[in-house]
Chain A
Amino acid sequence: MKNKTNHKLLQIKDLKKYYPVTAGIFSRHVGDIKAVDGVTFDIHQGEILGLVGESGCGKSTLGKTIPKLEEPTGGKILYRGNDITSLNKKGLKELRRQIQLIFQDPDASLDPRMTVGDSICEPLVIHNFGNEKERAQRVAELMEQVGLEAGQAGMYPHELSGGQKQRIGIARALAMNPKLIIADEPVSALDVSIQAQILNLMMDIQGKFGLAYLFIAHDLSVIRHMAHRVAIMYLGKIVELADKNELFRNPMHPYTEALLSAAPSFKLKGKGRILLQGDVPSPLNPPPGCHFHPRCHRVLSICSQVEPQLIEQSEGHFVSCHLYKQ
Chain B
Amino acid sequence: MKNDIVLKVSDLKTYFFTRRGTVKAVNGVDFELERGECLCLVGESGCGKTVTALSILRLFDSPPGKIVDGQISFDSLDLAKCSSAEMRRIRGKDIAIVFQEAQSALNPVLTIGNQITEQIKLHLPLDHTRTVERAIMMLGDVGIPSPASVMSYYPHQLSGGMKQRVLIAMSLSCDPKILIADEPTTAVDVTIKAQILDIFRELKVKRQMSAIFITHDLAVVAEIGDRAVVMYGGKDVETAPVSEIISRPKHPYTQGLIDCLPDSSRSKNRLMSIPGTTPNPMDMPPGCAFHPRCPRAMKICRQQEPTKTSISDGHSVSCHLYT
Chain B positions within 8 Å of A163 at CB level? 277
From A54, A191, A196, A276, give the contact of B195 (CB < 8 A): A276
Provide the bound-state CA to CA distance between A266 and B263, in Å.
Answer: 9
Distance in angstroms from B220 CB to nearest chain A CB is 5
Instruction: State whether the Cβ of B191 lies closer than 8 Å to any Cβ in chain A.
Output: yes
The answer to whether B261 touches A192 (Cβ under 8 A) is: yes
Distance in angstroms from A280 CB to nearest chain B CB is 8
Chain A positions within 8 Å of B277 at CB level? 161, 163-164, 194
What total count of A-B pairs have CB within 8 Å?
A: 117
Chain A positions within 8 Å of B256 at CB level? 193
Instruction: State whether the Cβ of A10 lies closer than 8 Å to any Cβ in chain B.
Output: no
Instruction: State whether the Cβ of A199 lies closer than 8 Å to any Cβ in chain B.
Output: yes
Provide the bound-state CA to CA distance between A161 and B279, in Å.
Answer: 10
List CB contacts (< 8 Å) of B235-263 with chain A. Answer: 246, 256-257, 260-263
The answer to whether B192 touches A279 (Cβ under 8 A) is: yes
Chain B positions within 8 Å of A225 at CB level? 262, 267, 271
User: Could you give, for residues 172-207 of chain A, a 1 whenever the CB lies within 8 Å of some chain B CB and a 0 otherwise?
Assistant: 000000000000000000011111110110010000
The answer to whether B217 touches A264 (Cβ under 8 A) is: yes
Provide the bound-state CA to CA distance between A226 and B271, in Å.
Answer: 10
The answer to whether A221 touches B263 (Cβ under 8 A) is: yes
From A161, A200, A259, give the contact of B271 (CB < 8 A): A200
The answer to whether B190 touches A221 (Cβ under 8 A) is: no
Instruction: State whether the Cβ of A222 lies closer than 8 Å to any Cβ in chain B.
Output: yes
Query: If A196-B271, A221-B261 touch, does A262 touch B278 (CB 8 Å cutoff)?
Result: no
Provide the bound-state CA to CA distance between A144 and B136, in Å.
Answer: 59
Provide the bound-state CA to CA distance between A196 and B269, in Å.
Answer: 12
Instruction: State whether the Cβ of A88 lies closer than 8 Å to any Cβ in chain B.
Output: no
Instruction: State whether the Cβ of B77 lies closer than 8 Å to any Cβ in chain A.
Output: no
Query: If A192-B216, A224-B262, A279-B161 touch, does A258 touch B191 (CB 8 Å cutoff)?
Result: yes
Distance in angstroms from B79 CB to nearest chain A CB is 29
Chain A positions within 8 Å of B161 at CB level? 279
The answer to whether B273 touches A266 (Cβ under 8 A) is: no
Which of B190, B198, B264, B272 counts the most chain A CB atoms within 10 A?
Answer: B190
User: Could you give, for residues 266-280 of chain A, a 1 whenever the CB lies within 8 Å of some chain B CB and a 0 otherwise?
Assistant: 110110010110011
The answer to whether A279 touches B159 (Cβ under 8 A) is: yes
List CB contacts (< 8 Å) of B180-221 with chain A. Answer: 189-195, 197-198, 201, 216-220
The answer to whether B257 touches A193 (Cβ under 8 A) is: yes
Chain A positions within 8 Å of B246 at CB level? 266
From B159, B223, B260, B270, give the contact of A192 (CB < 8 A): B260
Chain A positions within 8 Å of B192 at CB level? 54, 279
Instruction: State whether the Cβ of A265 lies closer than 8 Å to any Cβ in chain B.
Output: yes
The answer to whether A54 touches B189 (Cβ under 8 A) is: yes
Chain B positions within 8 Å of A264 at CB level? 193-194, 197, 217, 219-220, 222-223
Provide the bound-state CA to CA distance between A275 and B162, in Å.
Answer: 15
The answer to whether B216 touches A191 (Cβ under 8 A) is: yes
Per the CB 8 Å criterion, the residue count for chain B at the interface is: 42
The answer to whether A200 touches B270 (Cβ under 8 A) is: yes
Instruction: State whether the Cβ of B44 lies closer than 8 Å to any Cβ in chain A.
Output: yes
Distance in angstroms from A51 CB to nearest chain B CB is 14
Instruction: State whether the Cβ of B274 lies closer than 8 Å to any Cβ in chain A.
Output: yes
In the complex, which range does the number of interface residues on chain A fall in? 35 or more
The answer to whether A191 touches B278 (Cβ under 8 A) is: yes
Provide the bound-state CA to CA distance between A237 and B261, in Å.
Answer: 29
Chain A positions within 8 Å of B217 at CB level? 192, 264
Distance in angstroms from B171 CB to nearest chain A CB is 21
Chain A positions within 8 Å of B160 at CB level? 55, 279
Instruction: State whether the Cβ of A239 lies closer than 8 Å to any Cβ in chain B.
Output: no
The answer to whether B264 touches A248 (Cβ under 8 A) is: yes
- In the complex formed, the residue of A with least CB distance to B162 is A279
Query: If A192-B44, A264-B217 touch, does A221 touch B273 (CB 8 Å cutoff)?
Result: no
Distance in angstroms from B302 CB to nearest chain A CB is 20
Query: If A196-B274, A224-B267 touch, does A55 touch B219 (CB 8 Å cutoff)?
Result: no
Chain B positions within 8 Å of A262 at CB level? 190-191, 193-194
The answer to whether B222 touches A265 (Cβ under 8 A) is: yes
Instruction: State whether the Cβ of A220 lies closer than 8 Å to any Cβ in chain B.
Output: yes
Provide the bound-state CA to CA distance between A188 and B148, in Å.
Answer: 36
List CB contacts (< 8 Å) of B269-321 with chain A. Answer: 269-275, 277-278
The answer to whether B270 touches A266 (Cβ under 8 A) is: no
Distance in angstroms from A157 CB to nearest chain B CB is 14
Given contacts A199-B271, A200-B270, 19 further A-B contacts (CB under 8 A): A54-B190, A192-B217, A192-B261, A193-B278, A197-B275, A218-B189, A221-B219, A221-B263, A225-B262, A261-B194, A264-B197, A264-B223, A266-B246, A269-B222, A270-B201, A270-B223, A275-B194, A279-B161, A280-B189
The 6 lowest CB-CB distance pairs between A and B, nearest first, are A225-B262, A196-B260, A196-B273, A262-B194, A193-B274, A264-B219
Instruction: List 22 contacting pairs A-B, 8 Å CB cutoff, sorted by A.
Output: A191-B278, A193-B260, A193-B274, A193-B278, A194-B44, A194-B273, A196-B261, A199-B262, A218-B190, A220-B190, A224-B264, A225-B271, A259-B190, A263-B219, A266-B218, A266-B263, A266-B265, A267-B265, A269-B222, A275-B194, A275-B198, A279-B162
Residues on A facing B (Cβ under 8 Å): 54-55, 161, 163-164, 191-197, 199-200, 203, 218-222, 224-226, 248, 258-259, 261-267, 269-270, 273, 275-276, 279-280
Residues on B facing A (Cβ under 8 Å): 44-45, 159-162, 189-195, 197-198, 201, 216-220, 222-223, 246, 256-257, 260-265, 267, 269-275, 277-278
